[in-house]
Structure 1
Amino acid sequence: MSKTAEPQLYYSHEAYRSDRIPLQAGSEKRSVLHKFTGTRLPWGYTQDVVPDNIMEDPKPENLRFWERWENEKAEMKANGKYVPRPFEDVELHCRYDHERFRFAQLPFRSQFWLSLRTFCKWGLIILLPLCILIDWLFEMDSAGFNIRELLNNSITVLVSKILLPPWLVSSVIVNYFPRVWFRPPGGPLWELNRVTGQVTIFNSADVKTQGQTHDIVAPFHEFDAYIVTSPDRQGLPTNGLQLAHRYSAATINLSALITPDNTTQKPCALWDFLQNFMDIQRPLPEIPLYEPYRSQDPTTSEYDEKNNRPTRYWIDMDNHTFKTKVKDMLGKIDSIDTFDRPNLMAKAVQYID
Structure 2
Amino acid sequence: MTAANLFEKFPPKELRLHEGFKKEREEQIAANSYDPTPYGHIDFHIRDDHERFRYALLPASSHLWMYMLGGGRFLFFLFFVIQFFILLAELIDTNKTILKVMNDYSSTLFIFLGIPLGCWLAGTLVIQFIPSLWLKPSRGPIWELNRRTGLVTVFDYKNNGEYKKNGTIGELTAPFYEFDAYIATSPDSQGMPMNVLYLAHRYRNIMINFGALLCPGPEVQPACALWDFIQNYMDVSRPLPDLPQYEEYRHLDPTTAEYDRRTGRNPRFWIDMDDATFKQVVREMHQRVASIDTFQRPNLMAAYVTYVD
Which TM-score bucket, shorter chain as reference? 0.7 to 0.9
Matched, 1:246 2:219: no
- How far apart, CA to CA, are the structure 2 residues paired with 1:119 and 1:233? 19
User: Which of 71, 84, 93 is matched with 1:119 structurally?
Assistant: 71
Residue 337 of structure 1: aligned partner: 293
Distance 1:213 1:177, change over 3 A: closer
Residue 44 of structure 1: aligned partner: none
Q: CA deviation at 1:145?
A: 5.5
After superposition, residues 52-63 of structure 1 pair within 5 angstroms as: 52-63=4-15
Q: Indicate conservation of the 8 Å contact 2:232/2:241, yes or no.
A: yes
Q: Percent identity?
A: 43
Matched, 1:230 2:183: no
- How far apart, CA to CA, are the structure 1 residues paired with 2:79 and 2:3? 31
Residue 175 of structure 1: aligned partner: 128
Higher RCO, 1 vs 2 (CA within 8 Å, ≥6 residues apart)? 1
Corresponding residue pairs, total: 303
- How far apart, CA to CA, are the structure 1 residues paired with 2:269 and 2:90? 56
After superposition, residues 191-340 of structure 1 pair within 5 angstroms as: 191-203=144-156, 205=158, 214-340=170-296
User: Which of 94, 115, 119 is matched with 1:162 structurally?
Assistant: 115
Q: CA deviation at 1:106?
A: 1.4
SS in 1 for 2:196: strand
User: Which of 175, 178, 188 is matched with 2:141 structurally?
Assistant: 188
SS in 2 for 1:252: strand
Q: Indicate conservation of the 8 Å contact 1:50/1:329, yes or no.
A: no
Matched, 1:75 2:22: no
Distance 1:157 1:114, change over 3 A: same
Matched, 1:146 2:80: no
Q: TM-score, normalised by structure 2?
A: 0.87
Q: Indicate conservation of the 8 Å contact 2:58/2:138, yes or no.
A: yes
Q: Indicate conservation of the 8 Å contact 1:131/1:156, yes or no.
A: no
Q: Which runs of 5+ in 2 are unaligned?
A: none
Q: Which runs of 5+ in 1 are unaligned?
A: 1-48
> Is 101-110 or 78-87 further displaced after alignment?
78-87
- How far apart, CA to CA, are the structure 2 residues paired with 1:64 and 1:79? 23
SS in 2 for 1:56: helix
Distance 1:272 1:136, change over 3 A: farther
Q: Indicate conservation of the 8 Å contact 2:2/2:223, yes or no.
A: no
- How far apart, CA to CA, are the structure 1 residues paired with 2:84 and 2:174? 57
Q: Which has the higher helix share?
A: 2
Q: CA deviation at 1:62?
A: 1.1
Q: CA deviation at 1:50?
A: 3.7
Q: TM-score, normalised by structure 1?
A: 0.77
Root-mean-square deviation (Å): 2.8
Q: Indicate conservation of the 8 Å contact 1:242/1:252, yes or no.
A: yes
Residue 49 of structure 2: aligned partner: 97
Counterpart of 2:62, as a letter, is S
Q: CA deviation at 1:293?
A: 0.8
Q: Deviations over 1:290-344 (max 9, x none)?
A: 1011111122122222222110011111222212211211111111222222222
Q: CA deviation at 1:220?
A: 0.9
Counterpart of 1:223, as a letter, is F
